[in-house]
Structure 1
């Protein structure tokens, strides 16, 4: 249906004729959960309108400053950060940062002259979105989580459309503005050939594969429990293991774990080929960030979700619960890891019927065309404006 709608939009001539020269400002930053969906949306828009011009806005000290240019997009920075829960120098600087970021946002918007602004969350979205509304520029929001971030909640009443990934988000946002599209997933994550993927990790077909994902920065709680249980998981449970621990933990874990002792362990700071890692995994243990949940759905990957307790609004727990209620995942609280981790992992990873049922439930939640649907909705709006 999305393809049909997109075809209808461009059927008169081309999208260029329908909407003119399109300039899009993308505001996103802080984490991959905000940045990668923004890139996926930009890619989808560019696929439908090759002459569209893009500018990303983020912050210099977060991942977007390095990631966005790698995907071929320009980025400018504003001076903004979050507010900490305790008294810090950063908190004392926040009023000055906010005023500065609003002035910077005004100058960027007046210079670039975007036709639309798409805010995908993170620190930069707030000032850019607020100034865009004041300048009369249509604002679109993309919310990745079940419980929306504070920036999107503040901007929601001013937005033209809000694209959500979880149905639960409608409790906190203006329902009449919501389009449930799912989360745009980075294009490089897709279903891969399992046999070839096993070869790439030098694994065999006959033993189950456990994938531990700590996210781009790593997850200390997962690293701690894996350090404690690695010998039992590898030797007693006879599992093949991919353990992504995060760059800042890698050297310390090499010293502590001594991975050369375990021939079926692949300890790595970062996984370049996530498609291959998902393809070999019988079971994934991971945090419950929105981007990760969407990838699991797209691949149809059974998972044990261990939500981070250190996120705003406990949104990872809410994300996890949405998947658990659908029968697609199991929820394991961080405080119960010491007592339950080994037994839950080893029982579930050998229960092929349960894994198959969870995989089917995951796939039923997937919205693999999320970025295309968002692009199509935006072009429908633009065409109606002209």
Structure 2
């Protein structure tokens, strides 16, 4: 069997890496896989755990506003282009697959300069700055949302959905409860504030614990250095900075999830048919992509949006009660979803490469 080589790129946040990991895990043995990311980004740790050859390059931050650091970062991008070009000339891949993030821009530009086809995937309803630039150099573009297609050239864009990590689909609820040590037959709420945690969400959850744990059990993924030692012995509350291998089982045991509005996460919960309360990052913290993601899911009947500015103990408790009251309606809408198997769509396209 002829070996084909593919280079993945994407980084800066877990959301720019986990879809690549999902695709990597499903590619056949005919593919030789390498990765290009930043020298110290989160992608380095995640990809090296998969025993995938990792190549680090310099990467400047892309900003939509004037800043003196734009000048120095421009030189970092140019240096990254040179480094990526040297790596790609050596590897000679059949295709580069880019998931977004600042580090991808030099890689995509370098690939185009060498005549290497570039496939990109956009998770959100509106493209991030990296993918806005990358689309000019791309051969094929995939989007998670139908609404996103309008921002890209129609002839080379395909709505594929979000690549879901297959392992998440095969969790055991029984094992999840055992891992958590939750033995009461009460519903489980899982709180996920992102890889770094979310201070305001963490505070609202912990301050509401007396009301919430009167009826539910809580699993709180609170982010690095965000554990509260005073709550370590609470009988209906479990807190973790982050979970890895246990996540599939924990989600299998979960009845409701409270989450940020990152596209990859909410598409995974959609695939698992877990009703959601989405607390998107506000425009003061982001470009507003999570707000649009949350609105799309709420309009489709998959979730309820709770704006961070409206996040109070009382509103959190009321929203949880509302979702549980209509849990069957949310799950019914999720079952009606026409969301495709993005992994298969993308892999079928990649397998066409010579």
Shorter-chain TM range is: over 0.9
Change (3 A) 1:366 1:205: farther
- Work out whether residues 9 and 99 of structure 2, in 8 Å CA contact, stay in contact via their aligned partners in 1: yes
Structure 1 residues 311, 376: CA separation in 2 closer, same or farther (over 3 Å shift)?
A: farther
Q: How far 1:128 moved relative to its partner? A: 0.7
Q: Which has the larger helix fraction?
A: 1
Shift of 1:84: 5.3
- 8 Å CA contact 1:308, 1:316 repeated in 2: yes
Q: Could you tell me which residue of structure 1 aligns to residue 7 of structure 2?
A: 25
Correspondence for 1:347: 322
Structure 1 counterpart of 2:82: 103
Mapped partners of 1:307, 1:74: distance in 2? 34
Aligned to 1:179: 158
Q: Which structure 1 segments of 5+ residues have no match?
A: 1-15
Q: Which residue of 2 aligns with 1:10?
A: none
| TM-score, scaled to structure 1 | 0.85
Q: Paired residue for 1:365?
A: 337
> What is the CA distance between 1:41 and its match in structure 2?
1.8
Distance 1:228 1:371 in 2: 40
Q: How far off is 1:267 after superposition?
A: 1.3
The separation in 2 between residues aligned to 1:114 and 1:348, in whole angstroms, is: 47
1:315 is aligned, of 280, 286, 289, to: 289
Structure 2 residue aligned with 1:78, among 52, 57, 63?
57
**2:298 — aligned with what?**
324
- In the alignment, the residues of structure 2 paired with residue 42 and residue 297 of structure 1 have an alpha-carbon distance, to the nearest angstrom, of 21
Q: 1:268 to 1:366 in 2, by over 3 A?
A: farther
Q: CA RMSD in A?
A: 2.0
* Residue 215 (1) aligns with residue 215 (2): no
SS in 2 for 1:103: helix
The aligned length equals 351
Bigger radius of gyration among the two? 1
Deviations for 1:194-234, whole angstroms, at most 9, x for unmatched residues?
Answer: 33432332324632211111122111121121122122222
1:289-318 Cα shifts (integer Å, max 9, x gaps)? 111012111101100000012554311111
Tell me: CA distance 1:368–1:70, structure 2 relative to 1, closer, same or farther (3 Å).
farther
Q: Distance in 2 between matches of 1:159 and 1:231?
A: 52
Contact (CA 8 Å) 1:32, 1:291: kept in 2 or not? no
What TM-score, normalized to structure 2?
0.92
Q: Structure 1: how far apart are the matches of 2:111 and 2:253?
A: 45
Question: Is contact 2:275–2:323 with CA below 8 Å preserved after alignment?
Answer: no
